[in-house]
Amino acid sequence: MAISILRTRQQLAGGLLRLLYRQRLSTLSHACNAVNDDGRNRSFIDPTSVVHPNAVLGQGVSIGPFCTVGSSVVLGNYCKLHPGSHVFGNTKLGDKCILMSGAVVGENIPGKTIIGCNNVIGHHAVVGIKCQDMKYKAGNECFLQVGDNNEIREHVSIHRSSKPCDKTVIGDNNLIMGSCHIAHDCKVGSNNIFANSTLLAGHVSVEDHAHTAGAIVVHQFCNIGSYCFIGGGSVVSQDVPKYTMVAGDRAELRGLNLEGLRRGGFSVTEIRSLRTAYRKIFMPTDANVGGIEDRLADVECHEHMSHVPAVLSWVQSIRESLKEDRRGICKFRSWSFS
């Protein structure tokens, strides 16, 4: 008899818990999707979350269960924090940002993290925390600035700068896939695609429309040019000139990123001129053409190529990488047609 009563109580308790759980999900879903008479989404804060009273929340903010929002945080309109995501420190999120479960943005250290609008920060990504540079001194201000429309996938780490006079910068419309790392003081442009496990050391500069394959490593202070492609598993220890393709350990030039140029809207004339210029600089048929400086000058003075802006921009990219304060360009092989 006692066992039967106990089972009945357990069944009732289980049924009650399931009912409460369904009601909870229904309330959360309804609150997140409910619309006021003026057409704006209502804000929703789950009672299990910890939101500091000094935090500034925009209209239509949705904060799911077990989240944390710090005292100096500013959340833009219609931001959504999925369960178990956290925002700390002096951090500002623009409108319509989404934090997936486990994401952490900002840290309670001096400095600031600014995230633009329409960014998605993936599951267990860590954005805007202290750098891993031994030169960083506790108490120094450090900064991170992220633009708009970036997709930052799961387990990505992006660190703030290492010193007050610099900052880590991410542009707009970048796709940063799972387990990538962008270290302190990096400068990343816009419309780049970083495949899984792309690792950028400190002070790396990436221009626009670059594309990396998976599992690549970039040495600190390197520059990755626009419209370049880095092959999978590469170790990049020197600059990658714009429009080129590199691969290997250590990465070597493997030609122009022709597919990237076509997708980027470069004309047939521009691509043909770039191919001719590439052959003249990196694949000379004459053994007496001189060093790379002579070959660059020859391209700049060429009757036709000197009038193609893309060629002149590419030559200038190589010249910049050859300056004393830069790391030089990735190695190349001087092929011969003989």
Q: Whole-angstrom Cα distance, residue 336 to residue 36?
A: 72
State how far the Cα of 111 lies from the Cα of 84, in Å rounded to an integer.
24
Q: Is 184 a catalytic residue?
A: yes
Catalytic site residue from 128, 178, 202, 260: 202
CB-based contacts of 8: which residues, under 8 Å, 6+ apart?
Answer: none
- Active-site option among 185, 203, 208, 239: 185
DSSP letter at 40 equals P
Contact 240, 251 (CB under 8 A): yes
| Contacts for 161 with CB less than 8 Å, ≥ 6 apart | 111, 131, 142, 143, 144, 167, 168, 184, 185
Query: Is 185 annotated in the active site?
Result: yes
231 is catalytic: no
What is the dihedral sign for C-alpha 129, 159, 167, 61? Answer: negative
Torsion of CA 119, 124, 130, 132, to 10 degrees: -120
Residue 145 region, left (φ>0) first, then alpha (ψ -120 to 50), else beta? beta
Burial of 289 (0-12, 13-18, 19+ CB in 10 A): middle
- Exposed/middle/buried for 243, CB within 10 Å: 0-12, 13-18, 19+? buried
Q: Report the SS3 class of residue 151.
A: strand
Rounded to an integer, what distance in angstroms lies between the CA atom of residue 334 and that of residue 121? 44
Q: Which of 181, 184, 211, 219 is catalytic?
A: 184
Helix (H) or strand (E) holding 188: strand 187-188
The residues assigned a catalytic role are 184-185, 202
